[in-house]
Amino acid sequence: MNTLDDNVKDTLNGEQKNGAGGPIILFFVIGLFLSLIMGWIIFPKLLYSKKKQPIDFNHVVHNDAVDEGCESCHFFRDDGSFAGVPRLEQCVDCHEEAQGETADEIKFVEEYVAKDKEVPWLIYSRQPDCVFFSHAAHVIKAEINCAVCHGHIGESEHLKVYEQNRITGVSRDIWGRNIAGIKKNTWDRMKMDDCAKCHKEAGKKEDSVQTRKDACFVCHK
Ligand code: HEC
Ligand code: HEC
Ligand code: HEC
Ligand code: HEC
Ligand code: HEC
């Protein structure tokens, strides 16, 4: 802080010669600098509370262990609805007893399998209650790859920390990785504008979505 004070003193000395412009600009620059730090570094840290998943889960190990790939756990029911995150019954055949010695598996078997208790997974992509979303329309009809919306969770060895927006209560995967709203990947954010953007592009090829794309009831319950 000394150098900063010295700078201020220097500038104040300069002021007697040069008028009031110097310190005002200096304070403006310091102010701008501090607000940038607030906006880019401190604010996002305060805005999101971090929560760990109840247990870690390794997709790579499991994609090898199961027979039907992703669909062994994330499947479509006969009525076309999507099962989403797996329930305990999809795990018990293999985890009645622990297969290995990892702490996460032991915790899983002792605290959930043995007590017949569902794991309270935190869902990164969970939308607000007012939003209607259908996996069948996107995955089966439009043949969109999981990673376009979710990123590479399905090929990961660890589950990332879940970050919840303290103001809206929504996951950071919905609200956006970048505070300025810059998107590097399609899966960095899944807000209303992002859904609408793809619908608009898809509508150019196919009028099914185009004709209804602006109707609020398409995506809202
Ligand atoms: C053995 C079961 C199993 C298999 C096989 C499996 N997953 Fe998962 N998957 C899980 C579990 C458990 C979670 C819960 C973690 C969580 O809350 O996100 C999960 C979470 C996910 C999520 C995050 C959902 C969210 O928003 O929270 C995605 C995306 C996903 N899986 C994609 C895939 C893909 C793609 C494949 C195939 C390459 C796959 N999974 C194979 C069990 C499985
Ligand atoms: C087809 C059999 C199979 C199914 C189904 C299965 N697992 Fe596993 N699981 C394994 C194997 C094999 C390992 C590796 C054990 C080792 O060598 O440590 C493992 C490891 C684990 C581990 C410890 C490693 C890690 O961090 O992921 C956890 C936790 C786990 N499984 C949870 C689950 C959950 C939750 C489900 C249901 C959604 C599930 N498993 C379904 C076979 C299975
Ligand atoms: C067009 C974008 C998109 C595609 C493609 C997509 N998802 Fe999703 N997924 C979402 C959205 C949005 C949600 C949240 C839905 C909600 O909150 O009602 C979600 C939720 C999920 C969940 C959590 C569901 C729950 O609440 O239990 C899992 C697991 C998941 N998706 C896996 C997959 C897998 C596996 C694939 C590929 C087969 C896939 N998704 C393809 C956008 C997509
Ligand atoms: C990567 C492109 C893409 C993204 C991202 C996307 N959609 Fe779609 N969506 C489509 C396409 C293509 C269809 C048309 C499928 C068809 O009917 O052939 C569609 C259809 C729909 C439908 C109509 C389903 C039906 O039963 O007719 C709803 C609702 C919908 N999307 C909601 C959403 C929401 C909510 C989001 C954001 C969370 C979203 N979509 C993100 C491409 C996308
Ligand atoms: C392509 C799908 C789509 C369409 C069409 C759409 N919305 Fe949304 N809307 C969403 C999604 C996804 C969210 C949640 C994420 C967010 O806040 O951006 C949302 C959030 C909202 C919210 C905030 C609610 C909350 O709980 O945070 C309002 C209000 C809203 N939409 C109004 C509208 C109105 C009015 C229209 C028609 C002019 C409309 N939406 C059309 C997808 C859509």
Expressed in angstroms and rounded, the spacing between residue 156 Cα and the centre of ligand 1 is 9
What distance in Å separates the CA atoms of residue 28 and residue 75, rounded to the nearest whole number?
A: 57
Residue partners of 197: CB distance under 8 A and separation at least 6: none
Q: Provide residues with CB under 6 Å of ligand 1.
A: 57, 59, 62-63, 66, 69-70, 72-74, 85-86, 121-125, 146, 150, 153-154, 159
User: Whole-number mean pLDDT of the chain?
Assistant: 86
Q: Which ligand is nearest to the CA of 203?
A: 4
Predicted pLDDT at 37: 79
Lowest-pLDDT range of 96-110, 119-133, 139-153, 201-215: 201-215
**Residue bearing the CA closest to ligand 4, atom 25:** 137
CB 8 within 8 A of CB 23: yes
Compute how many other C-beta atoms are within 10 angstroms of the C-beta atom of residue 6. Answer: 10
Predicted pLDDT at 35: 85
* Among the listed residues 57, 45, 63, the one whose alpha carbon sits nearest the alpha carbon of residue 159: 57
HSE, side-chain direction, 13 A CA sphere, residue 48? 21
From the CA of 90, give the closest atom in ligand 2. Answer: 37
What distance in Å separates the CA atoms of residue 195 and residue 190, rounded to the nearest whole number?
A: 7
Answer with the residue of higher pLDDT: 7 or 188: 188
Judged against a pLDDT cut of 60, whether residue 70 lies above it is answered with yes
Expressed in angstroms and rounded, the spacing between residue 23 Cα and the centre of ligand 4 is 55
CB 207 within 8 A of CB 87: no
Expressed in angstroms and rounded, the spacing between residue 165 Cα and the centre of ligand 3 is 19
The per-residue pLDDT for range 28-54, each reduced to its tens digit, is 889 888 888 777 777 778 889 999 999
The per-residue pLDDT for range 133-187, each reduced to its tens digit, is 999 999 999 999 999 999 999 999 999 999 999 999 999 999 998 888 889 999 9
* Stated length of the chain: 221
Predicted pLDDT at 213: 60
Q: Which amino acid is at 136?
A: A
Residue partners of 199: CB distance under 8 A and separation at least 6: 209, 210, 213
Give the pLDDT band of residue 211 (cuts 50, 70, 90). Answer: low
Expressed in angstroms and rounded, the spacing between residue 154 Cα and the centre of ligand 1 is 6
